[in-house]
Structure 1
Amino acid sequence: MLIRKFKNTSLRLVLFSLFLITININSAISGITGKLTGYLKDAQTNEPLIGVTVLIKGTTSGASTDIEGYFSVLNIPPGVYTVTASMIGYSTTTFEKVKISIDQTTNLNINLKQSVLEIGDEVVVIAERPLIRKDMTSVEARVDAEAIKNMPVQEVRDILNLQAGVTMGRGGEIHIRGGRASEVAYWVDGKSVTDVFDGSQSISVESNAIQELQVVSGTFNAEYGNAMSGIVNIVTKDGGEKFAGNLMIYSGDYYSKEEQIFQNIGDFNISTNKNIEGSLSGPLIPGSDLSFYFFGRNYSTDGWLYGRNVFTIDGDSADGKYVAMNPRNKTSLQTKIKYQITPLLKLTFSLLGSQQNFRDYNHFFSLQPDGDVKKFDKGYDLSALLSHSIGTETFYTINLSKFQKDFREYLFEDPLDSRYLHPDSLNEPGYSFTNMGTNLHHFNRNTTSYVFKFDVTSQLNKLHQTKFGFESRQHKLFYNDFTIVPADDSIGQQIRPFKPAVLDKSTSTHDNYTRNPIEYSFYAQDKIEYNNFIINAGLRYDYFDSKGDVLTDPEDPNIYLPFKLKNKFDVNGDGKIDVSDDQTATSAIEKRRKYWYKKASPKKQISPRFGIAYPITDQGVIHFSYGHFLQIPSFSYLYQRPEYKVTSSGGLQGGFGNPDLNPQRTVMYEIGLQQQLSDEMSMDVTGFYRDIRDWVTSGPAIEVQAGTGYSMYINKDYANVRGIALSLNKRLSNFYTFNFSYTFQVAEGVNSSPDEEYFAQVGNSDPAKQLTSLDWDQTHTANFSLGLEDAGQGGFMILRYGSGLPYTPVIITQLRQGQSTSNNLIKNSRRRPDNFTTDLRLYKNIKYSGFNFNLFCKVTNLFDRRNELDVFGDTGRANKTLQTSNISQDPSANNTIAEWFNFPTMYSEPREVQIGFEIGF
């Protein structure tokens, strides 16, 4: 079915693409592989050698030199290889530790020495990776498996947070160059794994299963779409010719003296946080062309936020023991099977899967934690990748994949479970923890995507490497959100005792829908490599159809309860009120549906990309890039409350989705310099500017009757970001290596969140009329990492500094009856305290009897610094608010005012200590 749908469109686009390649439309190579090029010459005469065989050991890849001694090998997975060059009458030259990276050309120029023997002697050379990349036209960062292994990091976001231009919001979300968190696209093994519902990374990829991670914070290639801030491109490990295995086990706990903030944090229990992970790889059948790689991990933690089990959900006294309130249990796996059918044809099957069960801290439930909801998140990506080389200069790939993400949130799975309690049981005086009751929220979201991707890469000649491709994405989104209510009897009276019920989907408190949007895209790109400059340029076309419905008459939105009399009684929309207007509920709704909505229009756009690198010396390169980027808004803003069930209860209601939203747009510029400072050290300094338009925001109120209106999302907001990013790198020599990155950035916009405008209207505040600092605007960000290694033992330390994020100050103006009111000053006009964190990993490697043993200790937040992620608006600090001395506490409350205003989530994680070992072969 999927192939039939794609057949006609794909054929037309492929033919068009072949035409574009013949006229050299410029573009840039990107994806999951790299390229090896070079020249071979006679060491004595310096003449080019024709017909030299160049082979990459452990692969079927290779090439022969042409009349100019030039060779090129495409489609090489990232990794470290041994390369041989051989020719009769010359000594065979072997280069070891040749590193191939994704989206990068590695140059290897070789001089062969003549030999008196027919089969020459072998010369072994250790390849040294260049410190600067002469083909890099925009800023990017790369981290390979060897570097990740020794770093004190646990998750992918920990690695991302170390890169220049990357900041982390208070909730751990990643922002690249001042954009919203949803503007980052995540790619794994050549396919997007971004959750289209909210723009997050949908599937957990474990750091120890990564072969190479690439972060593109500058203008990115035309292959990548539906992103505006940056690309996170991950290539996972493969199986090799030999069996290899690894087992890692570690455990630990959070330990801090800040017991006035974090409960139950002063006792260290080595088994509280546990991790076990392992991998196995090699030939599926010894001596065959089938290889495999398997990785699995289970991680469980009680977290660092605790409550006390003082009350049961029924309000009875409990044991008073501490209970973890942000526990998490995560299981992930990765399987990859590769079949080298012929030396030129390869088929790879892969499965990525993860699931986690967790709870988020809820301050209100601190004294009876069992009453709050649990959360369940699972997803997988199943794909098949066919790679076929047509000769040595051209190859194509076909990728078919299915992705699914499922998220659920509830206390008890069955919404009619008798253990649920009446919502009135949660009623408490202000500033008080609840002593009984159950969270009645139920939520389920499921996203399924079917993806077809076709790419062709061709080295047309020594100057042009051209790539083009087509992608189709078909989505199915299911959404069900409701709150349990008391059941009524046949005459509308609540049943006593309480019995849980779920309201009909036609009611405003029950949001249920299924949508099937589609995406198509086409790109063409070329990498032009002259001796004195390199050009990357490309063109991308995107098509999106939300398949959603918009209102025919926005002033009468609710199909179930029309506000206008003509719509209420003229249910068939023929302009007459007569006997044909059947007033029964079901038939009336179905008749209205024929004219109530109209289809949203498809969206189309072309995006050019361009970059140039100009070497000024053999150790310095200037780079410049420019590009247009677009992104379809997250599906949550397209389909939220899609039937516009506005009630007559009054006030401004929102926010309602808008499936007719246009793509958000940004234009990005950057100019920078790469410079080698010594044989071991290099730097990169880059200035950048981003102009962002059509950001999603809440629209103005649409009035449906006096005192009642609603707001839907529209494209209106604007933002701009400008800054300078500096990175300084020293590779390992003399027993140490270090990396330093610094970013100065100013990120300003109208609104940080699409819902800010709606809340301003509800609060009778004026809409934003000027640019202000965005919530994640971190003016100064610096990261320093230092690695020491000698004879298999060493350490790695990371120091992170971030200047304070903005907050909106508040002045208390009135206190009455225990409640405070205040006036907000200019939004985000003041700064929170600066943040500083130190992480450390110490290790010792031991080799014995063919096994590699590694003992290690890792400490995050080494000095247990109390970083304030959020603050009270009246003081600008997390540990003090004027409200604690001015608010009167209700005598029936279960806590003091000071206990209520002690929010542990306002601080970063306390110190965590982990001890573990690793065995590999």
Structure 2
Amino acid sequence: MLNIAVTLICASFLFAQTGKISGVVKDKTSGEALPGVNVIVEGTSLGASTDVDGFYVILNVPVGRHDVRFSYVGYSDLRVNDVIVNIDNTATLNAELSEEVNVGEVVVVTAQRELIRRAETNSRQIKNSEEIKNMPITSVQDVVALTSGVVRRGNSNDVNVRGGRTEDSAVIIDGVTTNSSTDGTSRARLNKNAIEEVTVQSGGFGAEFGGVMSGLIQTTTKTGSSKYNVVFELAADGSGSERGDKFLGSKVNGYRNYNLSIGGPIIPGTNNHFFFLSIDKLVQQDDSPSWGGEAIGSDYTNKSSENDALNIVFNYKANIGESMSIRFGGTGDWSTNTPYIHNRSFFGDKAGHYRTYETKNFTSNLTFTHTLNKNTYYNFRFGMLLYDRIEGDNRYGTSFIKYGDAELNQFSGDETDLSTAKMYGLLEEDGDLAQDPGTLTGFVDEYGTEDYRLRRVFAVNRVWNQWGKDFEKNWDVSADFFTKLDKHQIKFGAGYKAHELRKWFVQPAGLNKDGQISNKFSNWRNNVFSNYYGYDIKGNWVDEGDYKNGNMVEADPINNPGVYIESFDLPDSLSSHGSEAPRTPKSFWFYASDEWVNDDFILTFGLRVDYFDPNWINLINPLDPVSGGFNSKEFDPGDYTKSKTFTEIQPRLGFAFPVDENTKFSANISRFVQMPAFQRMYTSYYELWDETRGSGNTFNNPNLKPEENISYEISIAHQLSTDVVFNMRTYYRSIKNLVQVQRINSTNELLNYYITYGNIDYADSKGLELSIETRRINNLRLFANYTYSNASGTGSTSNSNNRNATDDSQEFVKFATDLEHDVPHQLNANIDYRFFDGEGPAVFGTKPFQNFGLNLIYKLQSGRPYTERKILNSFREIDTRYAEIGSGVNQERLPTISSFDLRLDKSFPLNFGETNVNLNIYVDIQNLFNQENVIRVQRSTGLPNEDGYLATAASQNDVETNNNYKRNSYRYLLNDPDRWDAPRVMRFGLRLEF
């Protein structure tokens, strides 16, 4: 029998998007090593020859499936099909050749990936394009959510990995980190037809990776091969139906998705230049469907949550000679999104002013690789992320003047100013504005008068009072070197990363209808245009030196352009750029690691050094921020100095060894650090100046230092049979220096106190992960995992203590409680059952079930914790977060949630001359049994849509007795659809591939 062994050995490279194939070739009869055997990856120029020990290694093999051919004089050729190469891994392919009997004979076998990756020292879970294609999912986040140790709330893009915060994980696409450095969230949106592979590492990753503390999510996109491949796919949730309609018993959400993907050689018949292009158009009338939250008793309510997006992926790869290659590619995403806001849904489109985002997001990557010999190569890499978002009113967009036009906005009354009290209006049945809107709401305020705002909750017909721009550019360059010396695989590299951050936000309601400033300059300057950098006061792009003298702003840019009022400037001795130039933090890194591999033991050791420069200011005296300058009552340049820099050393250690031929033991310990989200560090000088003039204001902290995680992991893998493997992992993570909002009691009597952010939080996370995986056995393939975990700490997010910070005491919650993303029990399972061509039961001489498949996903999460609050006794304090605590901090639990997702598909082979086309028709059903899954509750009752207030005597003072319309208005307020996960959602698709 031919002995083929395929193992995946960790050989991580900095953001590398390739793997390796290596192994030993022997004579099948004698077992002796064969030197000089030619080993090539078919369809490429990649290859190697075995040495005197029969050993070979092929470097920089693209991720995916490959056919490998072994040729040796006097022996039959051997071709091994479907050798799977994963990102940053080595596929070890050992082969035995037989002496040639028939001239030209080729032995063909199919490789199988070993279930135990014997040299892997950390936990990683991998899904390739074939698996992803058959699953009822639409995004990378859907894949990640099935990983053990990963917690996801509903269908959101945010995930928590092993108890970490959402911003602690990195999403990398083709070597480019897609996380925003501003808020830490990923900007990625990638259609699944462009995905070659998704790898999730929950901890223990190598020294080449930095700036991430929890999960490392690596996605490789397709690059094209020697054969052309074209895919056209479309999907919808109901032909001719609109949002809210029913189709086959399920609610229609206006979902339309169109995709065209094409890849192959640029020049037919050649193996040197390849391309891949994927264009994906997505339209959703409701991008966050909800099981609950239906309007009660009113035709004037709707759920506006629309999304219109275009995603493009392009890759080009060229092989230059036998030893060099270059890859260039990128992603582009254009979207317009109107997220649902419950307090703006009352009266629906008749009064609809909504927040709208227009977003452009691009990544680009360039990698040059040079293989010096079979054991050594190096690469140079460039990567960039561009993010540009505009936020504004859905009706007025970027039309600045319209925000301040009372005639366009038609507010109640005849006043032309847009003060806050005039920014609400209600519509009567004939569509006119109600002059006495309290007659509709039925609620009164604390003074006994009818309340037109439903107690500051329903913002009916109110302009979205924020127009802003966010721009972010992150780019990095790096160089990496790899060499194999005997049994040591040595890697080292260095890199530089730069950021350019711009922000501009205004509150246009501070303007009156003709665009003039209604208040004096200081109020306008600091309340209407309170926070910007990288733009001038009118929202125009500025760089270094763009300001007149670096410190002048126009007092009235609309009516009196060119008339300047002097502000203050950052001294040239502290910075080279103007006072409101973009923020430009930067970082450097160096790493080195050694992987020592022998027959019985694998040891990996790495060391990473990160240097970070915020490149901004540092408060000299945080207890009295205004004490050190020229004016002891106001913030000025004497109150700060050049920012601190940080240098962090991070060791990484891992080892693995076989217990027996069916069992592997591995462990790792590592230190990880990352800088806090920049939105907690950077602000405008003018905002600092304004916020330090009074008591109780909030501003960001430029003194924040890196957050830290020390992680421990032990893992055992045991192969139960030829096709079944069982894995058990346990971990512990100690996290400190997490950012949390805090109150600073100032020594300055005028300032009194202020709110800022500090490195004052800590957390612990521990868990046990069990998983089982099979190869396909009689048409069935199974993957399942169970996680038991506990995540505790002093704050779930950087704003968890926001309420405490406004109290008179500076004390915070300094004991560990269960975090809001603590999910003790989680179960994921994926079953794929399918008949291939010619398979399936026979019916009247035919096989109707051939090429038919079923893919089922089951997900279960025990309830998240929340803090009980007592029922309020006054309607004006509707926010139950500010009521008295009931049982204790995070002592109550949400209900357990679970769902089944199903895909049924059937393929039809079609022939058009020499062109073979595969037609696949499918239906995806999410939440198959329409399970009610509550993801948020009213803290006073533990129910999603009932806070207990209407049952209290106090409510009779606010609502007239037996007035059902007025009570229904209040119930509608509680019936927020965002408190439920999605209902049953059906989508029908057609896929053509040739």
Same fold at TM > 0.5 = yes
Q: Deviations over 1:396-421 (max 9, x none)?
A: 11112332111221012122213356
Decide which of 366, 371, 383 is 1:384's aligned counterpart: 366
User: Which of 716, 722, 728 in structure 1 is aligned with 2:772?
Assistant: 728
Residues 707 and 39 of structure 1, relative CA distance in 2, 3 Å threshold: closer
Where does residue 906 of structure 1 map in the other structure? Answer: 979
User: How has the CA–CA distance of structure 1 residues 39 and 897 changed in structure 2, closer, same or farther, with 3 Å as cutoff?
Assistant: same
In structure 1, what is the equivalent of residue 793 of structure 2?
Answer: 749
Q: 2:883 aligns with which of 822, 825, 832?
A: 822
**Cα distance 1:265–1:224, how it changes in 2: closer, same or farther (>3 A)?**
farther
Deviation of the 1:113 alpha carbon: 1.1
CA distance in 2, matches of 1:283, 1:409: 41
1:847 equivalent to 2:913? Answer no
Q: TM-score, normalised by structure 1?
A: 0.87
Cα distance between partner residues in 1 of 2:301 and 2:281: 24
* Cα 1:429–1:607 shift into 2, 3 Å: same
Match of 2:552 in 1: none
Q: 1:487 aligns with which of 503, 508, 511?
A: 511
Closer, same or farther in 2 for the Cα pair 1:86/1:494, shift >3 Å?
A: closer
Q: What residue identity is the alignment partner of 2:491?
A: K
Listed one character per residue, the Cα deviations across residues 235-257 of structure 1 (whole Å, up to 9, x for unaligned) are 1111111211000001005999x
User: Relative to 1, partners in 2 of residues 1:323 and 1:813: Cα closer, same or farther, differing over 3 Å?
Assistant: closer
User: Quick one: which of 853, 863, 866 aligns to 1:804?
Assistant: 863
State the AA in 2 paired with 1:293: F
Could you tell me which amino acid in structure 1 is paired with residue 381 of structure 2? N
Confirm whether residue 670 of structure 1 aligns to residue 734 of structure 2: no
Q: How big is each residue's C-alpha offset from its partner over 1:108-152, in whole Å with a ceiling of 9 and x where there is no partner?
A: 2211111257x6521111212111100111111000000000000
Which residue does 2:642 correspond to in 1? 599
Counterpart Cα distance in 1 of 2:604 and 2:231: 40
| Identical amino acids, percent of aligned pairs | 26
Q: What is the letter of the counterpart of residue 145 of structure 1?
A: S
Cα gap change, 1:598/1:914 in structure 2, threshold over 3 Å: closer, same or farther? same
1:246 partner letter? V
Shift of 1:209: 0.9
Corresponding letter in the other structure for 1:130: E
Where does residue 407 of structure 1 map in the other structure?
389
Which residue in the other structure is 1:18 paired with?
none
Equivalent residue number for residue 820 of structure 2: 775
Using the TM superposition, name which of 823-832 and 291-300 deviates more: 823-832
Matched residues in 1 for 2:651 and 2:239: separation? 49
| Residue type at the aligned position of 2:341 | N
Matched, 1:279 2:266: no
CA separation in 1, counterparts of 2:681 and 2:282?
Answer: 35
Alpha-carbon separation, structure 2, partners of 1:920 and 1:827:
54
Match of 2:55 among 56, 70, 83: 70
Counting only pairs closer than 5 Å after superposition, residues 271-420 of structure 1 correspond to structure 2 as 272-288=254-270, 289-303=272-286, 323-366=302-345, 367-369=347-349, 370-411=352-393, 412=396, 413-417=398-402, 418=405, 419-420=408-409
Shift of 1:506: 4.5
1:323 deviates by 4.8
Give the AA of the match of 1:512. Answer: Y
What is the rounded CA distance, in whole Å, between the counterparts of 2:767 and 2:197 in structure 1? 27
Deviation at 1:705, TM superposition (A): 2.9
Q: How many residues are matched?
A: 851
Matched-pair contact (CA < 8 Å) for 1:28–1:526: no
Select 1:59's aligned residue among 17, 21, 44: 44
Matched, 1:511 2:573: no
What pairs up with 1:485-884 in 2 under 5 angstroms?
A: 485-487=509-511, 494=518, 504-507=524-527, 510-513=530-533, 514-554=582-622, 557=625, 567=631, 592-593=636-637, 595-640=638-683, 643-647=687-691, 651-654=695-698, 656-703=699-746, 704-705=748-749, 708-763=752-807, 766-791=811-836, 792-812=851-871, 814-815=873-874, 822-825=883-886, 826-849=888-911, 850-884=916-950
Distance verdict in 2 for CA 1:602–1:640, change over 3 Å: same
Contact residue 302 and residue 324 of structure 1 kept, 8 A: no
What is residue 425 of structure 1 aligned with on the other side?
423
CA shift in 2, pair 1:234/1:200, >3 Å: same
Measured in 2, the distance between the counterparts of 1:218 and 1:137 equals 10
Other-structure match for 1:218: 203
- Aligned 8 A contact 2:618 2:644 in 1: no
State how far apart, in whole Å, the 1-side matches of 2:521 and 2:354 are: 18
Quick check: 1:83–1:94 contact (8 Å CA) kept in 2?
yes
Could you list the per-position Cα deviations for residues 783-824 of structure 1 after superposition, in whole angstroms to 9, with x for gaps in the alignment?
011111013111101010000000001123645889787311
* Structure-2 residue corresponding to 1:582: none
Structure 1 residue 640 displacement after superposition? 3.9
Q: Which residue of 2 aligns with 1:33?
A: 18
Q: What residue is the counterpart of 1:454 in the other structure?
A: 479
What's the secondary structure of 2:721's corresponding residue? coil
Q: Secondary structure at the match of 1:900?
A: helix
Question: What is the rounded CA distance, in whole Å, between the counterparts of 1:540 and 1:564 in structure 2?
Answer: 38
Shift in Å, 1:505: 4.6
Deviation per CA, 1:702-726, whole angstroms, max 9, x where unpaired?
4243574212211121100011011
CA distance in 2, matches of 1:565, 1:293: 58
Deviations 1:438-467 (A, max 9, x none): 111112110012211211122223x12222
One-letter amino acid of the structure 2 residue matched with residue 897 of structure 1: Y
Cα distance 1:838–1:149, how it changes in 2: closer, same or farther (>3 A)? same
SS of the counterpart of 2:775? Answer: strand
* Change over 3 Å in CA distance of 1:85–1:486 after alignment to 2: closer
- Unaligned residue ranges in structure 1 (runs of 5+): 1-25, 257-261, 311-318, 572-588
* Structure 1 residues 309 and 211: CA distance shift in structure 2, 3 A: closer
- Are the structure 2 counterparts of residues 196 and 431 from structure 1 closer, same or farther at C-alpha, using a change threshold of 3 Å? closer
Q: Which residue of 2 aligns with 1:475?
A: 499
In structure 2, the CA distance between the partners of 1:35 and 1:769, relative to structure 1 (3 Å rule), is: same
Alpha-carbon distance change, 917 to 666 in structure 1, aligned in 2, over 3 angstroms: same
| More divergent stretch after superposition (195-204 vs 506-515) | 506-515
Contact 2:284 2:307 in 1 (8 A): yes
- Counterparts in 2 of 1:295 and 1:464: CA distance versus 1, 3 Å: same
1:240 equivalenced with 2:225 (yes/no): yes
The whole-number CA distance in structure 2 between the counterparts of 1:485 and 1:67 is 79
Distance 1:679 1:428, change over 3 A: same
1:809–1:830 CA contact under 8 A, matched in 2: yes
What letter corresponds to residue 291 of structure 1 in structure 2? F
Q: Secondary structure at the match of 2:805?
A: helix
Structure 1 distance, partners of 2:159, 2:22, is 36
Q: Give 1:51-130 correspondences, 5 Å limit.
A: 51-115=36-100, 120-130=104-114
Residue 583 of structure 1 is matched in structure 2 by: none
Q: Secondary structure at the match of 1:884?
A: helix
- Could you say if the C-alpha distance between residues 265 and 666 of structure 1 is closer, same or farther in structure 2, counting changes exceeding 3 Å? farther
Classify the secondary structure of the residue corresponding to 1:897: helix
Seen in structure 2, the aligned counterparts of structure 1 residues 743 and 302 have a Cα distance that, compared at 3 Å, is same
Pair 893,505 (structure 1): closer, same or farther in 2 beyond 3 Å: farther
**3-state DSSP of counterpart to 1:701:** strand
Asked whether the equivalents of residues 907 and 921 of structure 2 are also in contact (C-alpha less than 8 Å), the reply is yes
Q: Per the alignment, in what secondary structure is the counterpart of residue 476 of structure 2?
A: strand
1:481/1:895 CA distance change after superposition, 3 Å: farther
Whether the 8 Å CA contact 2:743–2:806 is kept in 1: the answer is no
1:705 counterpart SS class: coil
Query: CA RMSD, aligned part only?
Result: 3.1
2-side partners of 1:669 and 1:706: how far apart? 48
Is the 1:808–1:830 Cα contact (8 Å) retained in structure 2?
yes
Query: SS state of the match for residue 647, structure 2?
Result: strand
